[in-house]
Amino acid sequence: MGNVIVKEIYKSPEEYSGKTIEVSGWVRTIRASKSFGFMEINDGSFFKNIQVVFEDKLSNFKEVSKFIISSTVYIEGEFVLTPDAKQPFEIHASKVELLGKSNNDYPLQKKRHTLEYLRTIAHLRPRSNTFSAVFRVRSLAAYAIHKFFQDRDFVYVNTPLLTASDAEGAGEMFQVTTLDLNNVPKNEEGGIDYSKDFFGKKTNLTVSGQLSAETFALAFRDVYTFGPTFRAENSNTARHAAEFWMIEPEMAFAELKDYMDVAEAMVKYIINYVMEKAPEEMEFFNKFIDKGLFERLHNVVSNDFGRVTYTEAVDILKKSGEQFEYPVEWGIDLQTEHERYLTEKVFKKPIFVTDYPKDIKAFYMRMNEDNKTVAAADLLVPGIGEIIGGSQREERLDVLEHRMEELGLKKEDYWWYLELRKYGETKHSGYGLGFERMIMYLTGMSNIRDVIPFPRTTGSAEF
């Protein structure tokens, strides 16, 4: 019946019972005695392996017995249901062929490896259970996000990564150039002659697609980005990477409340989608990576997220009697310890903290009537802290210009952004979700390096 995909077999094993089937895949485990042996084959389509029994009636039994882990094999044999065994079914091989040999120095032997070691073989680690699960969940979560927004008629917009605007202000940037660094061209004033660079001016990698996304929201109403973002920050933590993916939805005619509704629905949708589509992988995480995972995710999908103002949150923290490393006063930026205390100890579920002091938030956030706080909201989740940041955007040209002056931002650098307020200003809101943070949250993996196929961090751009 031609090659069968292992995923299909697991869907309805009964269909294959008693039939001769063909499977191609990679040897995950093998053990053999003098007259028979067992192999577990993974064909990449599914988290679980399929067991193959082979016996000395095979003409190449001796050769097969010596197959090395990770060899590529072709199996033909009878498919047998085994209701009384550990595995649900197996193949009784009538033919075993070596399609591609492996070597004895294969670096991913059966014994348990540290995550640190596995990072040094990032080209092989997706063949391990942990990373097979992580990267399949990553793929499903990405699709869940697209599906969530497309089902709601949001337009997907690819905002540019190369930007000549030096003024995004969300973090340290990488410079992109085609100039010869051995011989940087100078202009008459002795500065760098960027007219010789590829774009004729200094160019960086973007730290956010939000401002560009706003231009599209004022044409298409509801839009979202989903693409790579960069930070050249020299921070060697488990939560920061130099290259990561962001989702930035932007909605015209939406107020702060509307953003929170959409973000809450999105988070629940992603969790439900992945739980449904990758039950084996999620089971694995809950068992081996983070024993509280299911409880935590269940708590998220089954509760309405709380909403509390920053001012209320600060009051709660001050009255808590808790000793924090960073003392709490109105006006401070909440630290992870504060965020986790609020969501884990006080509310015991995800919460939006709203209406932050303007001085700790970005220039484009809408000023509240108190003239002290802005219509911003961060989503805090148990176990992590902040996972989403968003706001209503300042649509009033005069207020926005005033705020930019206060902060010393040059209007020329933002001419097109300001024009959105000149030609049909529109109330609108949006938010940003760090995709890798979401994957860490979904899987219980605690280092961002372990949810990115080939992570880029300070001092490390291997592979």
Question: Partners of 100 in the beta sheet?
Answer: 72
Find the binder of its own copies among 201, 287, 291, 411 (CB under 8 A). 201
* First vs last C-alpha separation in the chain: 39
Enumerate residues 90-129 that contact its own copies by CB under 8 A: 99-103, 106-107, 122-124, 126-127
- Work out which of 34, 110, 112, 422 binds its own copies, going by CB under 8 A: 422
Binding its own copies (rule: CB under 8 A), the pick from 221, 257, 349, 372 is: 221
Of the pair 347, 441, the CB lying nearest its own copies is at: 441
Q: Choose the stretch contacting its own copies; rule: CB under 8 A; options: 197-205, 340-348, 350-358, 369-377.
A: 197-205
Using DSSP bridges, classify how beta strands 162-163 and 306-309 pair: parallel, antiparallel or unpaired: unpaired
Please identify, among the stretches 215-223, 306-314, 369-377, 401-409, the one whose residues bind its own copies according to the rule CB under 8 A.
Answer: 215-223
Region 312-351 residues binding its own copies, contact defined as CB under 8 A: none
Should residue 10 be labelled a site residue for its own copies when binding is judged by CB under 8 A? no
Q: Establish if 12 lies at the interface with its own copies (CB under 8 A).
A: no
In the bound complex, what is the minimum distance in angstroms from residue 454's beta carbon to its own copies?
Answer: 4
Q: Which of 49, 65, 71, 392 binds its own copies (CB under 8 A)?
A: 71
The one among 84, 112, 181, 369 contacting its own copies by CB under 8 A: 181
Binding mask 423-452 for its own copies (x = CB under 8 A): xxxxx------------------------x
Q: Which of residues 268-297 bind its own copies (CB under 8 A)?
A: none
Q: How far is the CB of 437 from its own copies (least distance, A)?
A: 14
Which contacts (CB < 8 Å, 24+ apart) does range 165-171 have? 165/413, 166/202, 166/204, 166/413, 167/409, 167/410, 167/413, 167/414, 168/206, 168/207, 168/208, 168/211, 169/362, 169/363, 169/409, 170/207, 170/208, 170/362, 171/207, 171/231, 171/232, 171/233
Q: How far is the CB of 175 from its own copies (least distance, A)?
A: 5
Give least dist CB 218 to its own copies, A: 8
C-alpha 351 chain-centroid distance: 20
Cα 438–Cα 444–Cα 450 angle in degrees, nearest 5: 75
Distances from the Cα of 37 to the Cα of 34, 61, 67, 96, angstroms: 8, 9, 11, 12
Under 8 Å between Cβ of 436 and 231? no
Residue from 51, 65, 130, 203 binding its own copies (CB under 8 A): 203
Picking from 375, 368, 377, 367, the residue whose alpha carbon sits closest to that of residue 307 is 377
Tokens describing residue 415: 């001419």
Asked if 392 is part of the footprint of its own copies (rule: CB under 8 A), the reply reads no
